């Protein structure tokens, strides 16, 4: 019995399913979850002492690599001054200023502790600001585990094939309109029917929780146009894409900061993952007029004992400071290199697939070569059964992939030639395993 198996057996007696986040249980790929004890650069080490090239990167935060020396130094220095003060600190403004410098549309920022808390607060703020109740979300987009947005969500819910969650009341669910992604006509129809009741549309800047899905040309700009016309807000969820797909996130690649011919700017952003550099930090931000509806200035209440935690702020500041143009250039190049290698290996074995991209994020969808994946229905229709053998072949070769086909692949600036060559060497056997898989 491996150490990971022993640790998993113990964990199952102490925690539901033995985990504190469902995808970690390997439910969709089977086998024993690896219990990790160390991370450095592009590598993870499990409890049995085996190392893996990491293509999860803590689900995004490790943009500059695990245990980057500048980030560790900043965290150690912050720890020396205390772990938590329950009061304001200079570091909160330091991180907010870095965010505002990268995303000029963020006129005000409120720090919170998790991506779920950021989206929850953004939804509450939108309702408070507009005086309306309904929220539009898109099937397959995941915005954290708040009740009203756990309808046709992606991420773990896609992995577990659950349409929603027990414990969410019918009344709460009725406050959310779930529409097909990449379908502006459906959005127009929803506003025609309910326009004076819709507080906001929330969307992932580029969905990455049903696998990666590229927003259609003009889709996000269209959402901005429609919400503005009807007096609703547009909430752009960049918890995953923010500061990872580029210095200003996916909006910086495609929105008002990038293309004068397709100018669009959301009213609110939500951030997480990279903004905390691996520690629990998230934020929401946007127009001052809207953000100032939050307490203590406005009537929308939000509070958090650990919001703006000084150690997490230090990690965030150090990570964003280290995330230079050179870092993004490396991650972008490695992403293109790896996705091309994956496609070539699968094609060599005759495996029908498409590679789904959004900036430097990508995923593989099996059985989708003809049309790709443009929405949740497309994602659910893929040949999911091919992923588990592909995943375990890579794992056996020392490459740690996301343990679900419905997740993005992540690289870091620490993925050097040695790490990449190890991944490349593992791909042919994994492609053969995927080709041999049976439904």
Residue 54 annotated as catalytic: no
Distance in angstroms between the alpha carbons of the first and the last residue of the chain: 29
Whether 183 is catalytic is no
132-187 residue pLDDT tens:
999 999 999 999 877 677 665 545 444 443 445 677 766 777 788 989 999 999 99
Mean pLDDT of 307-325: 98
Name the 3-class secondary structure at 65: coil
Torsion angle (degrees, nearest 10) of CA 376, 379, 380, 385: -160
357 beta partners: 362
From the list 54, 273, 400, 432, the catalytic residue is 273
Q: Are 405 and 363 contacting, i.e. CB atoms less than 8 angstroms apart?
A: yes
Convert the pLDDT of each residue in 4-51 to its tens digit.
999 999 999 999 999 999 999 999 999 999 999 999 999 999 999 999
Cross-sheet strand order for the sheet of 198-204: 108-112, 282-286, 268-271, 233-238, 198-204, 134-138, 176-179
d(CA 311, CA 399): 31
Structure token digits, residue 414? 């620490």
Distances (CA, A) of 99 to 103, 202, 316, 331: 6, 20, 10, 20
Radius of gyration of the chain (CA): 21
Question: In this predicted structure, what is the pLDDT of residue 152?
Answer: 56
- Asked if residue 374 lies in contact with residue 354, where contact means CB atoms within 8 angstroms, the answer is no
Residue 261 pLDDT: 55
DSSP, res 169: -
Average pLDDT across the chain, whole number: 93
Q: Which of 237, 328, 378, 432 is catalytic?
A: 237
Question: Measuring CA to CA, which residue among 220, 213, 210 is closest to residue 269?
Answer: 220
Average pLDDT in the 249-257 region? 83
pTM: 0.94
Catalytic residue among 43, 52, 129, 142: 142
The answer to whether residue 378 is catalytic is no
């Amino acid at each position: 019995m491996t150490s990971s198996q022993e640790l998993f057996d113990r964990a199952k007696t102490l925690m539901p399913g033995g985990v504190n986040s469902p995808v970690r249980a390997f439910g969709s790929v089977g086998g024993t979850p690896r219990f990790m004890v160390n991370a450095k650069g592009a590598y993870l080490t499990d409890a049995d002492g085996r190392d893996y090239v990491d293509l999860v990167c803590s689900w995004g935060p490790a943009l500059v690599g695990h245990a980057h020396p500048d980030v560790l130094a900043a965290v150690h220095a912050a720890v020396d001054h205390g772990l938590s003060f329950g009061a304001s600190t200079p570091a909160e403004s330091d991180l907010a200023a870095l965010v505002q410098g990268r995303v000029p549309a963020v006129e005000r920022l409120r720090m919170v502790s998790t991506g779920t808390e950021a989206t929850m607060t953004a939804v509450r703020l939108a309702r408070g600001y507009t005086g309306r109740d309904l929220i539009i979300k898109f099937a397959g987009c995941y915005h954290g585990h708040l009740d009203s947005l756990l309808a046709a969500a992606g991420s773990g819910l896609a992995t577990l094939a659950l349409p929603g969650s027990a414990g969410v009341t019918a009344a709460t669910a009725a406050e959310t309109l779930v529409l097909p992604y990449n379908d502006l006509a459906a959005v127009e129809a929803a506003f025609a029917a309910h326009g004076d009741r819709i507080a906001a549309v929330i969307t992932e800047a580029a969905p990455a929780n049903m696998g990666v899905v590229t927003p259609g040309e003009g889709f996000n700009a269209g959402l901005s146009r429609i919400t503005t016309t009807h007096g609703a807000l547009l909430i752009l969820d960049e918890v995953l894409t923010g500061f990872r797909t580029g210095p200003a996130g996916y909006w910086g690649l495609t929105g008002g900061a990038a293309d004068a011919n397709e100018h669009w700017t959301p009213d609110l952003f939500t951030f997480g993952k990279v903004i905390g550099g691996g520690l629990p930090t998230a934020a929401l931000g946007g127009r001052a007029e809207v953000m100032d509806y939050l307490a203590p200035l406005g009537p929308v209440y939000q509070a958090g004992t650990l919001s703006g935690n000084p150690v997490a702020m230090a990690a965030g500041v150090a990570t964003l400071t280290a995330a230079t143009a050179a870092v993004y250039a490396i991650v972008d190049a490695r992403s293109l290199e790896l996705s091309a290698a994956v496609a070539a290996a699968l094609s060599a074995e005759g495996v029908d697939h498409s590679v789904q991209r959004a900036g430097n994020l990508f995923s593989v969808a099996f059985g989708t070569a003809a049309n790709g994946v443009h929405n949740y229905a497309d994602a659910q229709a893929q040949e999911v059964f091919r992923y588990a053998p592909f995943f375990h072949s890579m794992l056996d070769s020392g490459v740690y992939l996301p343990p679900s086909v419905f997740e993005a692949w992540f690289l870091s600036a620490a993925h050097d030639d040695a790490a990449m060559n190890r991944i490349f060497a593992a791909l042919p056997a994994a492609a053969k395993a995927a080709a041999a898989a049976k439904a």
